[in-house]
Amino acid sequence: MPSSAGSQPVQKKERVNAYLEYLGSFFPDLRKKLRIAKINKTQESYLKDVVVITALVFVILFIIYFMIFTAASISYLWLIILLPLTVVAVFLFFMKRVDVQIASRERNIDKDLLFAGRQLLIEIRGGIPLYDAISHLTKDYGEVSSVFKEIIDKTNLGVPLDVAMEDVAEETPSKPFKRLILQIVNSIRSGSDIAVSLETILEQMSQEQIIEIKAYGQKLNPLGMFYLLFGIIVPSLGIALMVTLLTFTGVAFSLEFLVGMLLVIIIIQYIFLTMIESSRPRFEV
């Protein structure tokens, strides 16, 4: 009997893992994304957390929707339609956390990559061995330093330097970093001058950043104009004009209308600020 009772939790855990593996089949790249995002969880553990959070949100939303629908005398048929759609949206929202983490890590790497690359070039030209030059980049450069530290750690464990660089580049979201590392790896394996190859790739990266800065400046002009128009002028002058006109008609603003206008203005401000922030270059200007 004790052995049978003890096997039940094990069987239950196996069933849960089987369900999580089935759910993970809908996200085939999740394992790789977790490694790239540096989220130290297995696929099953991450999915379990998302499912638990989604279940809690489901319970909370069910209570809120039920109270609203009951108070407003709305048919519960809409609850049956709306609740599953909301829960699916919540689940997908939390699943996107991995992509958000990857994008954030990519931005942080690209931000300091050119400066770190130039220091690497200077030290290699100064006759410092590649391993020592890379080890000097393991601090002072934010996320880039943590990536170079991974290379040093792998090398210290006995992995050849070129293999360690290739492995780390494979699990790094930054495309410029991959190009930089693979260029160095190719130079090591072909026996060519690393400094020449590194200088070429850094020059390309510098030109790309200049182009991106110019594109950002061109994009900022119309965004700024629309922000001034719809985010400042229209809300302020529009409401003032409406108050003046409605004064002559004897119609008064209700509190609900003013609150609604405030929410609309906040949403417009948020949209414009988000657009400006998202269009910024990924590096320090």
176 pLDDT higher than 70: yes
124 pLDDT higher than 50: yes
Does pTM top 0.75 for this prediction? no
pLDDT at 183: 92
118 or 273, higher pLDDT: 118
55 or 16, higher pLDDT: 55
- The DSSP 8-state label assigned to residue 142 in this structure reads T
284 pLDDT higher than 70: no
4 pLDDT higher than 60: no
- CA dist 256 and 267 (Å) reads 16
Band (pLDDT 50/70/90 cuts) for residue 198 is very high
2 pLDDT higher than 70: no
Band (pLDDT 50/70/90 cuts) for residue 232 is confident
Collect all residues with Cβ–Cβ distance below 8 Å to 226 and sequence separation of at least 6.
Answer: 272
pLDDT at 249: 74
pLDDT at 241: 81
Among 10-19, 58-67, 120-129, 161-170, whose mean pLDDT is lowest?
A: 10-19
Burial bucket for residue 103 (CB in 10 Å: 0-12, 13-18, 19+): middle
pLDDT one-digit tens code per residue, 204-224: 998 988 888 888 777 777 877
Name the residue ranges covered by the structural domains of the chain: 2-95, 107-206, 218-278
283 pLDDT higher than 70: no
37 or 268, higher pLDDT: 37
pLDDT at 187: 92
5 pLDDT higher than 90: no
116 touches 144 (CB < 8 A): yes
- Taken as a whole, the chain contains a residue count of 285
6 pLDDT higher than 70: no
Closest by alpha carbon to 117, among 41, 53, 174? 174
Band (pLDDT 50/70/90 cuts) for residue 253 is low
Please give the mean pLDDT across all residues of the chain.
Answer: 85
What topology is assigned to 107-206 in CATH? Receptor-associated Protein (1.20.81)
178 touches 191 (CB < 8 A): no
Band (pLDDT 50/70/90 cuts) for residue 1 is very low
153 pLDDT higher than 70: yes
- Going 145 to 150 to 156 to 161, the CA torsion angle's sign is negative
Collect all residues with Cβ–Cβ distance below 8 Å to 136 and sequence separation of at least 6.
Answer: 119, 123, 128
121 or 17, higher pLDDT: 121
146 pLDDT higher than 70: yes
